[in-house]
Structure 1
């Protein structure tokens, strides 16, 4: 297997830079036009430990989704993804989108801890359990939230704080990245790669639906299919979607993926 070719999504999709620039424009336009939001809410002391919270309307009494962005744990931030909330908001679900620190400035395990901190802050603010979605690296983070034993972090937390997840084009086995240019900033040992691979963690139960683009690499398709099978979740390959356009249906008003995500969020509210 040529792991570099299988996992280097920006190289696989020549228009990836234009698509990411389009995300930034769409996200900025969405923020400018959405009145029910809180920006830069802190979930930790760090500069990037902030999240934006979009609500369907006034008040706080909404089911709550946490969306974790991608970028191979070493690029982008929440400002590229505000528009992804659109589809869920239309279905009556609030959406929190955090930034987090990036590799190599911090280790990947620290990013997992930050995702957990964002989830705990949202629960303490709302009293609600959370539905987690994530794209690419965010798919791994969403799965790690599902797998977390929350009572070991705070006995006051519900055991099933994040009982449902929708990882989109995630990486659930990190070892295949170790021989690629992608891994240079991650600085993972084989042992750390396995410990941070949801595929090899015990299934926490709950509701899981794994989505991948039908036009993605054979390895992305395999990882998503194998992870869904390992945790007893659903699997869906979206026809014609690549690693970047696979996110579009979540943002679409009335889209099937947005409706599925909203149903999962409503079920845990």
Structure 2
């Protein structure tokens, strides 16, 4: 849209100067949680990063998948182990996949890897609730909008029951002219092709899109737009705000068993 400075709107590290301290806190809290509850490692491909940390919970019912952010070009699942704490406290299993990063792969490749990870988790015989932060929110929406039986007729039609996105991105076109795109290497055509906002709307499941209260206007627009567009087509959708949260603190409620975010994910998992 004319007049919008997309660099300012989407450069979250510039918007939140204290981000190094916040991300160091993620790493510290994640390591402490792995010491408390060592995850099972599940491989979904041959690459070094094609792995899932699975915090099993009680071993029954739907699995909540948390897909990490980092603009498809940074971080890995080990920074986010503590995001399983809140749901694990209620006996709900949480899977935290890692994926290859741009520019070594494309965004489309990463979507494919998350489909591979989902297919591997399907072997456990339990449906999935997809959640994700930032780029992970994009990937969670992509998983809800995937036709699983077109990929593999043996897969359940409703392998993914719901998506819960936290400050997600659903239209990648605004990133094309920003510094973020140096690693992504998107043009307008590939950005649109990788944007779930422009895919066939899911025929089942639900979408929650929540945004940190202190996020940029563009992050609010992204989530409101997909909630409105998919909602008009009949998908049960919800828009929400994480009060007083910036892009890096919006995921903090996942570690709190008593948070509204954990309560909603628990509800989505049928517990």
Give the TM bin, normalised by the shorter chain: over 0.9
2:107 maps to 1:108: yes
1:190 to 188, 191, 205: 188
Residue-by-residue CA offset, 1:172-222 (whole Å, 9 max, x unaligned)? 100000000001100112111111111122321311111101110000011
Alignment partner of 2:180: what SS?
helix
Query: What RMSD, in angstroms, separates the aligned Cα atoms of the two structures?
Result: 1.1
Alignment partner of 2:45: what SS?
coil
Aligned to 2:40: 38
Q: Is the 8 A contact 1:19 1:244 kept in 2?
A: yes
Alignment partner of 1:181: what SS?
coil
Alignment partner of 2:119: what SS?
helix
Find the aligned partners of 1:134 and 1:7 in 2 and give their Cα distance. 17
Q: Report the CA distance between 1:132 and its aligned residue.
A: 0.3
After TM superposition, the score normalised by the length of structure 1 is 0.95
Find the aligned partners of 1:123 and 1:218 in 2 and give their Cα distance. 37
Which structure 2 residues correspond to residues 11-22 of structure 1 after superposition, within 5 A? 11-22=14-25
Gaps of 5+ in 1: none
Alignment partner of 1:167: what SS?
strand
Aligned to 2:48: 47
State the number of aligned residues. 262
2:87 maps to 1:88: yes
Residue-by-residue CA offset, 1:46-95 (whole Å, 9 max, x unaligned)? 110001100224xx324211110000000000110000001111122100
Alignment partner of 1:142: what SS?
helix
Aligned to 2:234: none
Residue-by-residue CA offset, 1:122-147 (whole Å, 9 max, x unaligned)? 011x1111000000000000000001
Find the aligned partners of 1:265 and 1:115 in 2 and give their Cα distance. 20
Alignment partner of 1:266: what SS?
coil
Aligned to 1:161: 159
Residue-by-residue CA offset, 1:223-267 (whole Å, 9 max, x unaligned)? 111111111110001221110111011221211101101110227
Gaps of 5+ in 2: 232-236
Q: Is the 8 A contact 1:93 1:266 kept in 2?
A: no
Find the aligned partners of 1:55 and 1:160 in 2 and give their Cα distance. 21
Which structure 2 residues correspond to residues 226-265 of structure 1 after superposition, within 5 A? 226-232=225-231, 233-265=237-269
Find the aligned partners of 1:266 and 1:80 in 2 and give their Cα distance. 27
Q: Is the 8 A contact 2:61 2:126 kept in 1?
A: no
- Give every structure 1 segment of 4 or more consecutive aligned residues whose post-TM-superposition deviation is greater than 2 Å: 60-63
Q: Is the 8 A contact 1:63 1:92 kept in 2?
A: no
Q: Report the CA distance between 1:159 and its aligned residue.
A: 1.5
Find the aligned partners of 1:239 and 1:130 in 2 and give their Cα distance. 27
Q: Is the 8 A contact 1:52 1:96 kept in 2?
A: yes
Which structure 2 residues correspond to residues 109-124 of structure 1 after superposition, within 5 A? 109-124=108-123
Aligned to 1:142: 140
Alignment partner of 1:241: what SS?
coil
Find the aligned partners of 1:238 and 1:128 in 2 and give their Cα distance. 29
